[in-house]
C-alpha cells in the first residue's frame, strides 16, 4: 500500500516507512506544504479551541485506543464496549467485557457461519422443493446493508461457486418488488439482518417477503417449522450489543458476504482487518497510518474550514466504498456534544461523498479543481486489475488518469503555463487575455493517494479497518462519542406519529403548518 499526501506546489517529504504486508511492500510517504507546520507537528500540537494549544497525546488517543481494545465501555452514552476488533481477532487473544472473555462466543458464531456457508455453497442446503439455493436476499438497512453490499460488490471476482446476492433496504416497496420479480422462491434464501429485530424498514420488508414466499410456495406443509416470525432458532446467528451497526460487517451480519465469496475468503477479509488493527495498536503515532490520516483530516477541517471529504476509488468494484463510509464517518462523527455535555467550539465530521474514477472526472472534479471550497480527497487504486483486458490497456489509462488528477490538484497550472499553451495553439491578443484566467488552476488542493497491489479480501479488510480507526482517532481528538447515533432517532419518532395520520380522513393540525399541509396533500391523493 502506498499513501501519498499531496498538498502544495512545493512540498517536502516528512516521513517514509516500509513494512511488509503479506509479502507486499507497504510504503507510506507524506508530503506537506512548505511554510506550514508539518504533519508531525500537527500531531504533537493540535490547535483546537478552547485552549489555543493542546498536545495530541493529551487528547487521549493512545489511552482511548487501549480502552477500546481492552473492552472498556467507551460508548459512554449507551454504556457499551466497542469491540468490532474482537470480531476479527485472529490471534484469539482474550478480550474481556465485564470480566468475560468474548472470544469463545465470537469463534462459536464464526464456526456456525462456516458450517452454514458450506452447506449452502455445496448444495446440501435445499429450498422447500429440494432444489439447491441459487440466490440469497439480504434484508436489512444501514449497517446491516451498506457493509455487506459494499464488500460483495468489491469482491465479486472471488464469488465463483457462490450464490447470487441481492440486497433490499429501502422501505419503498419498489426495492423489494423489483428484487422479488427476479427470484425463484424454490431456490431463494432470505437473510433478515437486524441487530434489534425491531427496525421498521427491515421487519416490514421481511414480512412482505415472507408473504410473497408463502404465496408462491403454495405448499405450506412443505415448509420448515417456524417460531413466531418464522425463523427456526437453529438458523439464528448471534451478535452482541458491543458491535455497532456500522461496524458489523465482520460479524454474523456478514453472512451474505461469506455465502457469496466463500468462508475462506471471508476469513481473509477478517485477517486483513486484524493486520491493520495490530498496526494501529502497536505503531508509534508518528508512523501510524490511521492516526496520520485522522490528523490530516483535522488539519483541513479545523484549519482550512474544509466541509467535505471526497473518496474516489479508481476501481469499479469499489463503487459502493464511498457510500459505505458515508455512514461510517458521518454517523460516527456527525456530533456537536462533547463527553462533558458541552457544545463543541469547532467543526467535527465532514460530509463524505464520492464516485469511482474516471466517472467523477466527467461530473464533479471541476468543482474540486476550480471551485471556491477546499475539498480534500482520497484517491485509491490497485496496481493490478482484476480484468486486465487488452494487455491491461484499460488499467493503464485508468492509472494515468489517477496520477494525473492528483498531480494536477497539487501543482495546478500557472498563468504563464496557460499563456504558453494558448499561444502555442494560435491564440493571441484580446481573445487570449479574455480566456487566460479561465485556464489557470491554483493548485495546492490536498489529496491522499492510496495504492495497493490488488483488491483482495485481505487488502479490502485492511483498507476498511484503516478508515474505521481514522474515524475513531478523529472522534477522540474532537472529544465526541463516535459510537452512538442519537441523530437517527428523532425522525423515527416523528414518523411513528405521522404514519397513522396518513390514514386519517380528519384534518391534521398537530404539526407545523408546512407538515400539516403536506400530510393533507398526500391524504387527498391516496
Neighbours of 33 (CB within 10 A): 17
The alpha carbon of 519 is separated from its chain's Cα centroid by a whole number of angstroms, namely 35
Q: How high is the pLDDT of residue 219? A: 54
Per-residue model confidence as pLDDT tens digits over 471-509? 999 999 999 999 999 999 999 999 999 999 998 889 999
Please pick, among 153, 331, 355, 468, the residue that the annotation labels catalytic: 331
Q: How high is the pLDDT of residue 38? A: 57
Distance CA 82, CA 329 (A): 16
In the chain, which segments carry CATH 3.40.50.10490? Answer: 2-62+293-411+446-457+478-484, 97-264
Residue (of 6, 14, 9, 73) closest to 41 by Cα position = 14
Mean predicted confidence (pLDDT) in 27-35: 40
DSSP strands (E only) in 412-462: 447-452
Neighbours of 208 (CB within 10 A): 16
Distance CA 84, CA 465 (A): 10
Reduced to 3 states (helix: H, G, I; strand: E, B; else coil), residue 61 is helix
Residue 43 has pLDDT above 70, yes or no: no
Q: Worst-scoring range by mean pLDDT, 17-26, 93-102, 201-210, 411-420?
A: 17-26
Residue (of 278, 359, 285) closest to 315 by Cα position = 359
Inter-residue contact 230 to 214 (CB < 8 Å): no
Residue 167 has pLDDT above 50, yes or no: yes
- Grade residue 26 by pLDDT with cuts at 50, 70 and 90: very low
Q: How high is the pLDDT of residue 505? A: 87
Between the alpha carbon of residue 325 and those of residues 308, 328, 377, 473, the distances in Å are 13, 4, 13, 15
- Grade residue 218 by pLDDT with cuts at 50, 70 and 90: low
- Grade residue 5 by pLDDT with cuts at 50, 70 and 90: very low
Q: Which residue has the higher pLDDT, 148 or 218?
A: 148
Please pick, among 119, 178, 362, 394, the residue that the annotation labels catalytic: 362
Tell me the torsion sign for CA atoms 279, 285, 291, 293: negative
Number of H helices, E strands in the chain: 18, 12
Tell me the torsion sign for CA atoms 281, 287, 289, 291: positive
Confirm whether 492 is a catalytic residue. yes
Inter-residue contact 373 to 354 (CB < 8 Å): no
Confirm whether 362 is a catalytic residue. yes
Q: 2-62+293-411+446-457+478-484 belongs to which CATH class?
A: alpha beta
In a 10 Å sphere around its CB, with 0-12 CB exposed, 13-18 middle and 19+ buried, how is residue 233 labelled? exposed
- Grade residue 23 by pLDDT with cuts at 50, 70 and 90: very low
Instruction: Report strand pairing: 377-382 vs 447-452.
Output: parallel
Instruction: Report strand pairing: 308-313 vs 188-192.
Output: unpaired
Give the fold, CATH level 3, of 488-524. Answer: Phosphoglucose isomerase, C-terminal domain (1.10.1390)
Q: How high is the pLDDT of residue 216? A: 80
Mean predicted confidence (pLDDT) in 54-79: 86
Distance CA 7, CA 25 (A): 24
Angle at 254 between CA 252 and CA 259, to 5 degrees: 105
- Grade residue 362 by pLDDT with cuts at 50, 70 and 90: very high
Distance CA 344, CA 338 (A): 6
Phi and psi for 286 in degrees, rounded to 5?
-65, -20
Mean predicted confidence (pLDDT) in 71-94: 98
- Grade residue 232 by pLDDT with cuts at 50, 70 and 90: confident
Please pick, among 218, 394, 396, 492, the residue that the annotation labels catalytic: 492
Look up residue 415 and give its three cell numbers: 498563468
Look up residue 310 and give its three cell numbers: 471526497
What's the whole-model pTM score? 0.91
Inter-residue contact 331 to 481 (CB < 8 Å): no
Tracing cell 464516485 back to the chain, one arrives at 355
Give the HSE-up count for residue 234: Cα atoms under 13 Å, Cβ half-sphere: 5
Inter-residue contact 238 to 55 (CB < 8 Å): no
Tell me the torsion sign for CA atoms 323, 329, 332, 338: negative
Tell me the torsion sign for CA atoms 51, 56, 58, 61: positive
Per-residue model confidence as pLDDT tens digits over 260-299? 999 999 999 999 999 999 999 999 988 899 999 999 999 9
For residue 128, give the DSSP letter. Answer: T
For residue 363, give the DSSP letter. Answer: T
Residue 329 has pLDDT above 50, yes or no: yes
DSSP per-residue letters across 226-271: --TTT--GGG-----TTS-GGG-TTTGGGHHHHHHH-HHHHHHHHH
In SS3 terms, 161-218 reads as: CCCEEEEECCCCHHHHHHHHCCCCHHHEEEEECCCCCCCHHHHHHHHHHHHHHHHHHC
Distance CA 348, CA 301 (A): 8
Q: How high is the pLDDT of residue 11? A: 31
- Grade residue 526 by pLDDT with cuts at 50, 70 and 90: low
Distance CA 161, CA 123 (A): 10
In the chain, which segments carry CATH 1.10.1390.10? Answer: 488-524
- Grade residue 360 by pLDDT with cuts at 50, 70 and 90: very high
Give the CA diameter of the chain: 86
Distance CA 382, CA 238 (A): 35
Mean predicted confidence (pLDDT) in 165-173: 98
Give the fold, CATH level 3, of 97-264. Answer: Rossmann fold (3.40.50)
Distance CA 362, CA 103 (A): 48
Residue 188 has pLDDT above 60, yes or no: yes
Q: Worst-scoring range by mean pLDDT, 50-59, 167-176, 224-233?
A: 50-59
- Grade residue 20 by pLDDT with cuts at 50, 70 and 90: very low
Q: How high is the pLDDT of residue 52? A: 29
**Strands across the sheet containing 188-192:** 164-168, 135-139, 188-192
Residue (of 366, 420, 88) closest to 254 by Cα position = 88
Mean predicted confidence (pLDDT) in 70-98: 98
Distance CA 300, CA 203 (A): 41
Q: Which residue has the higher pLDDT, 60 or 332?
A: 332
Confirm whether 503 is a catalytic residue. no
Average pLDDT, the chain: 89
Tracing cell 406519529 back to the chain, one arrives at 497
Amino acid at each position: 500500500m502506498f499513501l501519498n499526501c499531496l498538498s502544495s506546489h512545493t512540498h517536502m517529504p516528512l516521513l517514509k516507512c516500509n513494512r511488509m504486508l503479506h509479502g507486499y511492500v507497504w510504503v507510506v510517504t507524506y508530503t506537506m506544504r512548505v511554510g506550514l507546520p508539518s504533519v508531525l507537528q500537527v500531531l504533537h500540537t493540535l490547535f483546537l479551541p478552547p485552549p489555543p494549544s493542546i498536545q495530541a497525546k493529551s487528547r487521549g488517543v493512545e489511552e482511548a485506543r487501549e480502552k477500546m481494545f481492552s473492552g472498556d465501555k467507551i460508548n459512554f452514552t449507551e454504556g457499551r464496549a466497542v469491540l468490532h476488533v474482537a470480531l476479527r481477532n485472529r490471534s484469539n487473544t482474550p478480550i474481556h467485557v465485564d470480566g468475560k472473555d468474548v472470544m469463545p462466543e465470537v469463534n462459536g458464531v464464526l464456526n456456525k457461519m462456516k458450517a452454514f456457508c458450506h452447506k449452502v455453497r455445496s448444495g446440501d442446503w435445499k429450498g422447500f422443493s429440494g432444489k439447491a439455493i441459487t440466490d440469497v436476499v439480504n434484508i436489512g438497512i444501514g449497517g446491516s446493508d451498506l457493509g455487506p453490499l459494499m464488500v460483495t460488490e468489491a469482491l465479486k471476482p472471488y464469488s465463483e461457486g457462490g450464490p447470487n446476492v441481492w440486497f433490499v433496504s429501502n422501505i419503498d416497496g419498489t426495492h423489494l418488488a423489483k428484487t422479488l420479480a427476479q427470484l425463484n422462491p424454490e431456490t431463494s434464501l432470505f437473510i433478515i439482518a437486524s441487530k434489534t429485530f425491531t427496525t421498521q424498514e427491515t421487519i416490514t420488508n421481511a414480512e412482505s417477503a415472507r408473504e410473497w414466499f408463502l404465496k408462491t410456495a403454495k405448499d405450506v406443509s412443505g415448509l420448515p417449522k417456524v417460531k413466531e416470525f418464522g425463523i427456526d432458532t437453529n438458523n439464528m446467528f448471534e451478535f452482541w450489543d458491543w458491535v455497532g451497526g456500522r461496524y458489523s460487517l465482520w460479524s454474523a451480519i456478514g453472512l451474505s458476504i461469506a455465502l457469496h465469496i466463500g468462508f475462506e475468503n471471508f476469513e481473509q477479509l477478517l485477517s486483513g482487518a486484524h493486520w491493520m488493527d495490530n498496526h494501529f495498536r502497536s505503531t508509534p503515532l508518528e508512523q501510524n497510518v490511521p492516526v496520520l490520516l485522522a490528523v490530516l483530516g483535522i488539519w483541513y477541517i479545523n484549519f482550512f474550514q474544509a466541509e467535505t471529504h471526497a473518496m474516489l476509488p479508481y476501481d469499479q468494484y469499489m463503487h459502493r466504498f464511498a457510500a459505505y463510509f458515508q455512514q461510517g464517518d458521518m454517523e460516527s462523527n456527525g456530533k456537536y456534544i462533547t463527553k462533558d455535555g458541552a457544545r463543541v467550539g469547532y467543526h467535527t465530521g465532514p460530509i463524505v461523498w464520492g464516485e469511482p474514477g474516471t466517472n467523477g472526472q466527467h461530473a464533479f472534479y471541476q468543482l474540486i479543481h476550480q471551485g471556491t471550497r477546499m475539498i480534500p480527497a482520497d484517491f485509491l487504486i490497485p496496481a493490478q486489475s482484476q480484468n486486465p483486458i487488452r494487455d491491461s490497456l484499460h488499467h493503464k489509462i485508468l492509472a494515468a488518469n489517477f496520477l494525473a488528477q492528483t498531480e494536477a490538484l497539487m501543482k495546478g497550472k500557472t498563468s504563464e503555463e496557460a499563456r504558453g499553451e494558448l499561444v502555442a495553439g494560435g491564440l493571441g491578443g484580446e481573445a487570449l487575455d479574455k480566456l487566460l484566467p479561465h485556464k489557470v488552476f491554483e493548485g495546492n488542493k490536498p489529496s491522499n493517494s492510496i495504492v495497493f497491489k490488488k483488491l483482495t479480501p485481505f487488502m479490502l479488510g485492511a483498507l476498511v479497518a484503516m478508515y474505521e480507526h481514522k474515524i475513531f482517532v478523529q472522534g477522540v481528538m474532537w472529544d465526541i462519542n463516535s459510537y452512538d447515533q442519537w441523530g437517527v432517532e428523532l425522525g423515527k419518532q416523528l414518523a411513528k406519529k405521522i404514519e397513522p395520520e396518513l390514514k386519517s380522513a380528519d384534518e391534521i393540525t398537530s404539526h407545523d403548518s408546512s407538515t400539516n399541509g403536506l400530510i393533507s396533500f398526500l391524504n387527498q391523493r391516496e
